Amino acid sequence: MHENTAENSVILCRSCDLAIRKRALPTGVRALCPRCNTALYDTPYCSVNGMLALCITALVFYFPANFFPVLEIHFLGSIRTTTVFQGAFAVFDQGYWVVGIAVLAAAVVGPGLLILSILIQLLIVKWGLDSPLGRHSLKQLLKFQGLLSQLTMLEIYVISFLVSSFQLSDFSDIYFGMGTFCFTMLFLVTLFLQREYDIEHMWGLLMQERH
């Protein structure tokens, strides 16, 4: 029971179903199946400091991404700018409140909570693993992590944004604002963060210190 669960779990090879005991790998190394050479898992374990840097970068882009204009439409002499926030409220106003809530949740609230949650987890791992309060909070945050990463759908938002701008560009001039740049950067940084973040590894860190 005192073993580190993340690093002693048994996994199955995706191609040949061979059971393999998972072990900790040095950074930059990939585990291959001994029977069929399929790549099993590599070390996504970015250093805690690396993830911390990604988190802070994401937070820096978060606010301008949501509150600066992402789109500037020039149409018959009139200029309109839109932020992600206004976009969500515009759909809301037209009566599509379910869509409005979905946009707010997936593009604004979800990513914000996700980044904050990972940031707090990293701070606990770095400085708070010895205190019972730190361990308790980390456990609760890890339990909610799955839900949060499902809620975050920045990529869907980015795709629909691109599709609608191309459609609009047929009859009006489209300019991208500061918000577009920040939103794209937020999207990329969150993508890297989610790739580096490994929930099993975080659980492992929580279990590790107990004995």
**Residue entry with tokens 């997936």:** 106
Q: How far is the CB of 12 from Zn ion (least distance, A)?
A: 9
Q: What is the closest distance, in whole angstroms, from the C-beta atom of residue 35 to Zn ion in the complex?
A: 5
Helices (H) and strands (E) in the chain, counts: 9, 7
In angstroms, what CA-CA distances link 27 with 41, 47, 191?
A: 12, 9, 20
Contact segment (CB under 5 A) with Zn ion among 7-15, 41-49, 167-175, 179-187 equals 7-15
Residues 6+ apart with CB under 8 A from 136: none
Does 153 bind Zn ion (CB under 5 A)? Our answer is no
Nearer to Zn ion, 16 or 163 (CB): 16
101 binds Zn ion (CB under 5 A): no
Minimum distance from CB of 10 to Zn ion (Å)?
A: 14
Distance, in Å, from the CA atom of 88 to the CA atom of 108, rounded to the nearest integer, reads 10
Of 32 and 185, nearer to Zn ion (C-beta) is 32
Q: x/- contact string, 22-61, with Zn ion (CB under 5 A)?
A: -----------x-xx-x-----------------------
Asked if 147 interacts with Zn ion (CB under 5 A), we say: no
Tell me how many residues contact Zn ion (CB under 5 A).
8
Cα–Cα nearest to 15, from 42, 43, 35, 41: 35
- Least separation in angstroms between residue 15's CB and Zn ion is 5
Q: Nearer Cβ to Zn ion, position 18 or 151?
A: 18
What is the smallest separation between the CB atom of 13 and Zn ion, expressed in angstroms? 3
Q: Is 41 strand, coil or helix?
A: strand
Please pick, from the candidates 18, 59, 102, 151, the single residue that binds Zn ion as defined by CB under 5 A. Answer: 18
Residue 12 engages Zn ion in binding (rule: CB under 5 A):
no
CB of 199 to Zn ion, least distance (A): 24
Q: How far is CA 147 from the centre of its chain?
A: 12
Decide: 58 and 112 in contact? Cβ < 8 Å: no
How is residue 10 written in tokens?
């048994």
SS3 (DSSP) at 169: coil
The tokens for 116 are 């904050």
Which residues of the shown chain bind Zn ion in the complex (CB under 5 A)? 13, 15-16, 18, 33, 35-36, 38
